[in-house]
Amino acid sequence: MTASVKRAFKYRFYPTCAQAAELARTFGCVRKVYNLALAARTQAWVLRQERVNYNATSAMLTAWKKTDELAYLNEVSSVPLQQALRHLQAAFTGFFARRAKYPRFKSKKKSRGSAEYTTSAFRFRDGELTLAKMDGPLAIVWSRPLPEGVRPSTVTVSQDGAGRWFVSLLCDDPAVRPLPATDAAVGVDAGLDHLLTLSTGEKITNPRHERRDRERLAKAQRHLSRKAKGSANRDRARRRVARVHARITDRRRDTLHKITTRLVRDNQTIVIEDLSVRNLLRNHTIARAISDAAWSEFRSMLEYKAAWYGREVIAVDRWFPSSKLCSSCGTLHGRMPLSVREWTCDGCAATHDRDVNAARNLLAAGLAVSVCGAGVRPQREPSRTGPSATKQKPSRREP
């Protein structure tokens, strides 16, 4: 029997004035403790070559609460403060494993306010969630039901730049289990004219969410630029800009969820191209369009959903000439500018749609790797998943 999958269910809620004030204090204390612990760990290593771990920072937190300067840390629940220290430890673990950059200090203006509560710091009963040191339950909009009979293990409360409040409940979801196996396989070519082109010939339209709201965003940004810094009017104008960005992000994420869910349910094997989005964004002519297409987010969604439902995602090397290779006879053609959308093969006289041909070649290459074991599928960038198994880099010295 397979273990159930941990899944987060995110809902919007509307706090009372007292709850909002308490949460704002908690967010501030979480940010303060995180920054103090990061400064202490950095200073201890730079000055004394001393290692500081989670247990040491937890002892520091106890001492900080006893000082007059930081006595206000006792006014909020202690659990989110301890969780902040655990998150810092995880950040350092990722840094020394070469999966992430060195942890950065949290900014009041730029960092997202959030606080994480474990089971000892909240009560979930009869569909009502009450947090520690909170006056009454949260008014949550239950847009979808939680899995029947499950209880959340952690609760994360956050506020985005648009001022919206969200609560995320981490639960075991028994409904997530491998789907029945199928022989269906599909190659997927990412693009800009069309968001995705499948080896079946289907083309998924690029909704261009950012372009559709660009005029509204520009207007909101012009209003923001006219407001005096530090004024209440500027803060309201900033929230208007954030609301436009939130609308774009929500619509984009909704589109990607629907596409990736359909691909995973309908296909046993999904073959994609290992695009280096970070390098592509250096081309300022198409960087905005690439960011709007969200290729990296598409791949992340595809991979974790495939892991949930027992599917396979194969990433073909980015240097594979999928567009210039004839999917009918295998003839490799020379230079092919992006302006060429259709071309005729010199070897077999077959006429190809550039994107459909690329998707078919990706599918063939991916299936060859899966069946024959030829080569190793490209790994994600070291900053995201660590060094590949074929060549281990020396680990960094941990403070």
Q: Which pLDDT value is given to residue 117? A: 97
Q: Rounded to 5 degrees, what are φ and ψ at 137? A: -75, 160
The full set of domain ranges for the chain reads 5-173, 185-204+265-381
- H/E stretch holding 314 reads strand 312-316
* Sequence-ordered strand ranges (E) for 107-193: 113-118, 122-125, 128-131, 140-141, 154-159, 165-173, 185-190
120 CB-near residues (< 8 Å, 6+ apart): 79, 132
CB-CB contact of 24 with 114 (8 Å): no
Closest to 121 in 3D by CA, of 82, 79, 58, 167:
79
Cα–Cα nearest to 187, from 320, 294, 305, 288: 320
**Cβ of 113: how many Cβ atoms within 10 Å?**
19
Q: Is the CB of residue 132 less than 8 Å from the CB of residue 76? A: no
How many percent of the chain have pLDDT more than 70? 92
- pTM of the predicted structure, to 2 decimals: 0.84
Lowest-confidence region among 45-59, 181-195, 341-355, 377-391:
377-391
pLDDT digits (tens, 9 = 90+) for 351-376: 888 999 999 999 999 988 776 654 43
Read off the pLDDT band of 330 (50, 70, 90).
Answer: confident
Q: Which residues are catalytic?
A: 189, 273, 355
Asked whether 283 and 321 are in contact (CB, 8 A), the reply is no
